[in-house]
Amino acid sequence: MFMYYFAFHVIVVVSWILFLLQFIKAYQYHKIAQGYIFGILSIFFLIIAFYLGIKLIMFNESILKSGGWLHLKITLAVILAIENIYYFIKFLLKKSISNKIAEINYWLDYLIFVFILFLTLIRPF
């Protein structure tokens, strides 16, 4: 059972970030229909990613003591989640986003995602 949660966690987090990045681009270029689709998908996968992450911790609670990597990773994931929800609400309220802010967020989110993968796969500390 653990392997299923494990595999789906990885599949779901990759889907989340993929749709989050697509959502930011759709929002930036005022593509309303795409913004709705990618925005809803990103929030949906965000929720499942956290659910499966918490399930993985419950399977093996000692992992919480395995080092700082997990704590830093969860902190960064929470920052990404807050950003995702914040921009989706802004999008729903039909508020526009500046081109520069969207571009910065897009690349920053990508880099945070890569760093989370690095932290999880290498577990440097």
**Chain residues in the site for ligand HEM (CB under 6 A):** 9-10, 13, 17, 49-50, 53-54, 56-57, 60, 63, 74, 77, 80, 113, 116-117, 120-121
Q: Is 31 helix (H, G, I), strand (E, B) or coil?
A: coil
Q: How far is the CB of 57 from ligand HEM (least distance, A)?
A: 5
Q: Residue 94 has what DSSP assignment?
A: T
Q: Which two tokens stand for residue 3?
A: 């392997």
31 or 83, CB closer to ligand HEM?
83
Q: How far is the CB of 14 from ligand HEM (least distance, A)?
A: 7
- CA dist., res. 79 & res. 69, Å (int): 15
26 or 116, CB closer to ligand HEM?
116
Q: Residue 66 has what DSSP assignment?
A: S
Number of Cβ within 10 Å of residue 87's Cβ equals 22
Q: How far is the CB of 61 from ligand HEM (least distance, A)?
A: 10
* Closest residue to ligand HEM in the complex (CB): 53
34 or 120, CB closer to ligand HEM?
120
- CA dist., res. 32 & res. 100, Å (int): 19
What does the chain come to in residues?
A: 125
Q: How far is the CB of 80 from ligand HEM (least distance, A)?
A: 6
